[in-house]
């Protein structure tokens, strides 16, 4: 390995291929198609840095594995695809990430603007941590 190959193996791919992300995403049956479309439109409109922050929020890592999204793993090293799950939360609730399982619990927002606003807020906050909810 040269130093650049070693960096890829250790750190992952620096850019995020949204088509690969979509292809290797599991979606809960409850997630409305319209909300799924808004989610991907929002991700596609994000800058590379914003996509990396969303990935960090969801998986704990801002980089994609060298083999792409098909190689995302859970906390125990097993393959664990990115997952979008619809949940019933009160109005104006924020998405919740489960980094051990690469999953976002996504409230069913009524408009694309509402989804864009909360995703932008979540990825730009500097807060990390755990709760026991």
CA angle (83, 85, 89) in 5-degree steps? 145
CB–CB of 94/114 below 8 Å? no
Domain at 15-124: CATH code: 3.30.2410.10
**Which residue numbers are catalytic?**
100
**pLDDT (tens digit per residue) in 10-48:** 666 568 999 999 999 999 999 999 999 999 999 999 998
**pLDDT (tens digit per residue) in 45-88:** 999 889 989 998 999 888 888 889 999 998 888 999 999 999 98
Torsion of CA 23, 25, 30, 34, to 10 degrees: -50
- Mean pLDDT computed over 81-106: 91
Domain ranges of the chain: 15-124
């Amino acid at each position: 390995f040269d130093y650049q190959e070693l960096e890829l193996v250790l750190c992952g791919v620096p850019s995020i291929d949204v088509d690969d992300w979509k292809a290797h995403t599991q979606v809960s049956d409850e997630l409305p198609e319209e909300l799924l479309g808004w989610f991907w439109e929002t991700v596609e409109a994000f800058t590379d840095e914003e996509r990396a922050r969303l990935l960090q929020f969801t998986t704990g890592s801002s980089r994609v594995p060298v083999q792409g999204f098909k190689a995302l793993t859970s906390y125990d090293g097993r393959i664990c695809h990115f997952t979008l799950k619809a949940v019933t939360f009160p109005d104006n609730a924020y998405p919740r990430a489960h980094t051990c399982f690469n999953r976002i619990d996504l409230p069913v927002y009524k408009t694309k603007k509402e989804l864009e606003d909360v995703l932008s807020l979540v990825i730009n906050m500097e807060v990390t941590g755990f709760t026991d909810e």
